[in-house]
Structure 1
Amino acid sequence: MWSWWYVCSWCTCGLGGTCGLGGACGLGGTCGLGGTCGLGGTCGLGDTCVLGGTCGLGGGTVVIIKNYTGDRINFGLAVERAKHEGYKCDMVVVGEDCALKSSDKTAGRRGLCGTILIEKICGALAEEGRTLEDIARIAKDAVTKMGTIGLSLSPCTIPGAGASFTLGADEIELGLGIHGEAGVKRTKLVTANEAVRMMIDHMTDPNNNSRLQVKTGDKVACMINNLGGTSVLELNIIAREAILLLGRYHYVNLSGTSVLELNIIVREAILLLGRYHYVNLGGTSVLELNIIAREAILLLESRGVAVERVYCGSFTTSLEMAGVSITLLHLDDTLRNCLDAETNAPGWVRPYLPSGQRTRTTPQKMVTEDSHNIAKQQTVTDTVSADMKQQLYNMVKTAAEQLIASEEQLNGLDKESGDGDCGSTMARGAQDILSELKSKDNPLPVGNPAELAKRLGNIAEVSMGGSSGGLYSLFFTTVAGELQKEISPSAWSSALAAGVTTIRKYGGADPGDRTMLDALYPASEELSSCLKAKKSPIESFKSAVQKCEEGAKSTATMKARAGRSSYVSQDRLKNPDPGAMAVTIWLSAVLDILSK
């Protein structure tokens, strides 16, 4: 008798977008839990992941995430917490983007619509009773056999932040990210046939470091995805061209594509590729989606590729963005059987299957336990004088107010690299800080610096989310640990240095990579140097803030090597990094209070 394995697939989505999980939950389906959603594509919370993942399941939990810094940090934190509590779990990171040619991208390949296929595979394996180790191993191997490329005709508009970028009415952009990150090339409008050929040629280009190798005789599943604003007709046209080029097709309509349009695309794509799986990004009609599918199939089949499965629909959308993505997955018997496995998940689109498809029964449902309880709050004792307590109160209040006032400025800077929501993210955290600072029931413990830092870390994780929230949470948590030892100028300096080290460890960036570190690191180094030179604490901190400002401004000419900015062409980055500028804002606010 085998144990039930509960596959938990966590995925993030933006407000108005499709996270890929809402309709993908069900017996035989892609996951056991829904995804966590953030505003404008931000990552869900590590604490939320633990609540969902530590269900007391005997078999274990597989966490499937897209390869974005915030996802890796927050869900990695959830996995580590779960392991610490004695639960069996593993994490599969999906990064199948074939757009980026350069190998000098420390953030790695982006996770796109191929995540849906990995979720379906894991769900089927879990129902078969496969071990946690087997499921994770097969899923990780499947990620290496998969590639996705996107094409956009319009930007997405994040609520409160405006359009993420501008694109001419007669232009299209190849390789755009689902959060609005810049692609690799812009060109004038072309026919569906030419568009699909451009996408697949780039995906399989031998000179592309992130390419997917596809050769004569290969068997693949093809997914055509609607990014949000593509009609079904357009999506199916893309599928047709891809299939004609490769062999067979599998397509998916994400949102705005009609069934008629989608089926037209599928038919044409099958003629070219064999069978296909395609995804509509959101604003593409079904007819358009099916046209894309047809072209994809024709193109793939013309190259001797057998497209054995094609899925077409809206699987991973980016708000109202008009565009499509094409995903190809190399098939073997195991992966094919997983995709064909029966499921009652409403979001899973049935492909055009060959005759002889087998049905399968579903084992009885497993009863899960309630999520773990949250630790109760403890009474906090003041560790500083009344004067310093008031000073800390003013510092926190002023820093939060300045971040809120700078929301639009930071959003404007962030639009260069994608989401355009850095200011909104910082403002959300600042608003909650002000609320808790003034709370009568459980105000921020400004009389205890260590506990204050710990609470600020919790607020950053819960209110901000994404990579920024995760990194600030790690930063303040580390600072809290250092401040438990003593409270002195040298202790504050050591705490700042330790926080910077933690950000470098988990964020994967270094000074010079065009991140918040380019402001924090020089400030930390200068503060330590000045204190060692016996300068006064105020003088030392003034010098540190000056170095912080200089470092932030210098990011305007730096090449981005980490985070989402690393996906953007260098000539598009002409202003300082918003994360670095945010650091100067709150550090300057602290200095204002210290100087009074």
Structure 2
Amino acid sequence: MNNVEINKGFVGPGMLTAVVPGEIFTSPSSEAILMALHAVGSGSKSGTLIIAANYTGDRLNFGSAMEKAKLDGLNVEMIVVGEDCALQSSDKSAGRRGLCGIVLMFKIAGALAEEGKSLKEICEIVKHASENSGTIGISLTPCSIPGSDSSFSLGSDEMELGLGVHGEAGVMRLKVMPAQDVVKKMVDHMTNPESASRLDVKKGDCVAVVINNLGGTSRMEMNIVAKETISYLELMGLLVERVYVGTLMTSLEMAGVSITVLKVTSFLLNCLDAPTSAYAWPNCYLPVGAKTRFTPEPIKLYSLASKVPDLEAAGPQISQKGEAIIRQALSFSCSALVSCEKQLNCLDREGGDGDCGSTLCKGARAILDLLEKGLELSYPSQLLLTLGSVVERSMGGTSGAIYSLFFTGAAKAFIDQCTANTWCYAVELGMQAIMKYSGAEPGDRTMLDALSAAHRALSEELQRNGNDSLEECLTALKGAAQAAEKAAVATATMKAKAGRASYVNADRVNTPDPGAHAVGIWMRAVYEAVKQQIRLRT
């Protein structure tokens, strides 16, 4: 591609004057470069600076063009930027590759030129800045030149560390790990004192950081990496003065990021902060008008778990026999939900995102873990509030909010007594809380269909047969479990009017609602738990 590009990419006041592109992953020809030098340098007394990445083809072609330009009487100098920190061996090689750090050199050089610095001064400053920068990249996928296969292969559970931007493989293959661990691995590799290509940093150094998108990484993922990078660099004792996040130097569609760290002074910060009209230059992560970047102290978060229950206002206390029943009921129902995880996920794939079982399983496991650690069971009101907090935190999303509302609403029933009728009233209050904030009602093909059927059966049985004995309560629980299971099955033929299933074509949703089915599961488990407790006492 032998042409000169003006006013593209980082070209503009405060950055570059011209760029000379080659074919994909290929250096431009010396002829095209010479044309650019004449286009921007003819008649200029101040001269022209070439900033090239450290690749053999670039050095040769830009160097050849510079020599020809000098013969034509142009004042031209060249800086070769190579800040790659992937190389570990000290053996002779092509040297450190030029990666995203070159973009910072563009910005610094452009700002200095706008100030009217001489070509010699600009060369010295940019060269020194380049020597005090480092970049390391990591990728989840390779890239491919259009019409060609991928440059290398990666398993779905693998990452490539220390790769270049031309599709070449890196220096190390790792298993996929959390972002925090990935960033630590990258920065440790970049600053490893035994590495030949390390960036030397020490506690108290001021740095600017670039989180660069290699092509196929989402903005959310980029910001996660940025947060983890800032945290880890500050843990090392570095002062992170500037942070830039954007798509600056890609490797086509590669899903990955690179981290660039530049040691800065107040002078270099002024260069980075200098205005530019280059539209691809990202805004620094600073508040408007601010010149100093800092990480604020974490805000102390409100937590239900940290609250000391006021036992005088905690409502009625139940007996040890009652505690045993509740413990068994929680254990049975949570274990049942764990064992039915795959079944519920399968039901959820038709009208949801296929994770209903997994989400409920998280909540169930969290409750089981609390039971093992000694969950306080004496006060039903406090217990239900605790369960609401646990499921909200462990499950998250819609299901976590729904069950948190259910438990929190149910807790209001236990003001001055704890009878079978109180538990029945608690289910009613829990349902009302869900309906108030979700907008769903019985008949909408949700868990409320099973809950309302169970509540109705429980209420009718208690009124009909009384609740003076455990046996009478057991009969009511059996009816409630059966009603919940029957209602759950009936949702298979109902039209969804709430939840994610309401957005799906009705012809595709012909199995029971997973939320309703889950209610049937844990209602049956509660019944079996109470039945076992009765048997143990007889």
CA contact (8 A) 2:51 2:81 kept: yes
CA contact (8 A) 1:25 1:33 kept: yes
- Residue type at the aligned position of 1:97: D
> Aligned with 1:221: secondary structure?
strand
* Other-structure match for 1:392: none
Write out per-residue CA displacement over residues 104-133 of structure 1, whole angstroms, 9 at most, x where no aligned residue.
Answer: 242110000001000000000000000000
* Other-structure match for 2:26: 42
- The 2-side partners of 1:51 and 1:150 are apart by 33
* Other-structure match for 1:128: 115
User: Aligned in 2, Cα 1:351/1:133: closer, same or farther, shift over 3 Å?
Assistant: same
> Aligned with 1:154: secondary structure?
coil
- Residue type at the aligned position of 2:58: D
* Other-structure match for 1:99: 86
* Other-structure match for 2:399: none
- The 2-side partners of 1:103 and 1:111 are apart by 18
* Other-structure match for 1:436: none
The structure with the largest helix share of the pair is 2
1:223 aligns with 2:206: no
Return the offset for 1:87: 0.7
User: Aligned in 2, Cα 1:203/1:165: closer, same or farther, shift over 3 Å?
Assistant: same
- The 1-side partners of 2:20 and 2:286 are apart by 28
TM-score, normalised to structure 1's length? 0.47
CA contact (8 A) 2:163 2:169 kept: yes
1:53 aligns with 2:53: no
* Other-structure match for 1:73: 60
* Other-structure match for 1:139: 126
- Residue type at the aligned position of 1:79: M
* Other-structure match for 1:154: 141
Return the offset for 1:357: 5.3
Write out per-residue CA displacement over residues 544-566 of structure 1, whole angstroms, 9 at most, x where no aligned residue.
Answer: xxxxxxxxxxxxxxxxxxxxxxx
Return the offset for 1:181: 1.7
Count of equivalent residues: 288
- The 1-side partners of 2:111 and 2:23 are apart by 28
CA contact (8 A) 1:12 1:43 kept: no
Write out per-residue CA displacement over residues 128-177 of structure 1, whole angstroms, 9 at most, x where no aligned residue.
Answer: 00000001111111110000000011111012321101000110011011
Write out per-residue CA displacement over residues 488-530 of structure 1, whole angstroms, 9 at most, x where no aligned residue.
Answer: xxxxxxxxxxxxxxxxxxxxxxxxxxxxxxxxxxxxxxxxxxx
- The 2-side partners of 1:305 and 1:320 are apart by 32
Write out per-residue CA displacement over residues 183-216 of structure 1, whole angstroms, 9 at most, x where no aligned residue.
Answer: 1111110000000000000000011010001211
User: Aligned in 2, Cα 1:340/1:218: closer, same or farther, shift over 3 Å?
Assistant: same
Aligned positions of 1:279-294 closer than 5 A: 282-294=215-227
* Other-structure match for 2:177: 190
- Residue type at the aligned position of 1:43: S
Equivalent pairs: percent with the same residue?
53
- In the alignment, which of 24, 27, 31 is matched to residue 13 of structure 2? 27
* Other-structure match for 1:90: 77
- In the alignment, which of 105, 109, 116 is matched to residue 118 of structure 1? 105
CA contact (8 A) 2:164 2:170 kept: yes
> Aligned with 2:126: secondary structure?
helix
User: Aligned in 2, Cα 1:143/1:129: closer, same or farther, shift over 3 Å?
Assistant: same
* Other-structure match for 2:244: 311
- The 1-side partners of 2:170 and 2:200 are apart by 21
- The 2-side partners of 1:329 and 1:178 are apart by 19
Return the offset for 1:20: 13
User: Aligned in 2, Cα 1:300/1:342: closer, same or farther, shift over 3 Å?
Assistant: same
CA contact (8 A) 2:83 2:96 kept: yes
- In the alignment, which of 136, 147, 152 is matched to residue 165 of structure 1? 152
Q: Which runs of 5+ in 2 are unaligned?
A: 292-538
Write out per-residue CA displacement over residues 72-121 of structure 1, whole angstroms, 9 at most, x where no aligned residue.
Answer: 00000011111111111110101000001012242110000001000000
CA contact (8 A) 2:49 2:119 kept: yes
1:63 aligns with 2:84: no
User: Aligned in 2, Cα 1:20/1:305: closer, same or farther, shift over 3 Å?
Assistant: farther
| Larger RCO (CA within 8 A; separation ≥ 6) | 1
> Aligned with 1:140: secondary structure?
helix
- The 2-side partners of 1:189 and 1:146 are apart by 27
Aligned positions of 1:408-423 closer than 5 A: none
- In the alignment, which of 246, 258, 273 is matched to residue 325 of structure 1? 258
- The 1-side partners of 2:46 and 2:290 are apart by 29
- The 1-side partners of 2:184 and 2:290 are apart by 31
- In the alignment, which of 272, 283, 306 is matched to residue 350 of structure 1? 283
- Residue type at the aligned position of 1:100: L
* Other-structure match for 2:486: none
- The 2-side partners of 1:291 and 1:165 are apart by 26
- Residue type at the aligned position of 2:228: E
Return the offset for 1:350: 1.2
- Residue type at the aligned position of 2:216: G
User: Aligned in 2, Cα 1:20/1:181: closer, same or farther, shift over 3 Å?
Assistant: farther
- The 2-side partners of 1:109 and 1:12 are apart by 28
CA contact (8 A) 1:192 1:295 kept: yes
- The 2-side partners of 1:152 and 1:326 are apart by 12
RMSD: 2.3
Write out per-residue CA displacement over residues 199-237 of structure 1, whole angstroms, 9 at most, x where no aligned residue.
Answer: 00000001101000121100000000010xxxxxxxxxx
> Aligned with 1:147: secondary structure?
strand
Write out per-residue CA displacement over residues 565-593 of structure 1, whole angstroms, 9 at most, x where no aligned residue.
Answer: xxxxxxxxxxxxxxxxxxxxxxxxxxxxx
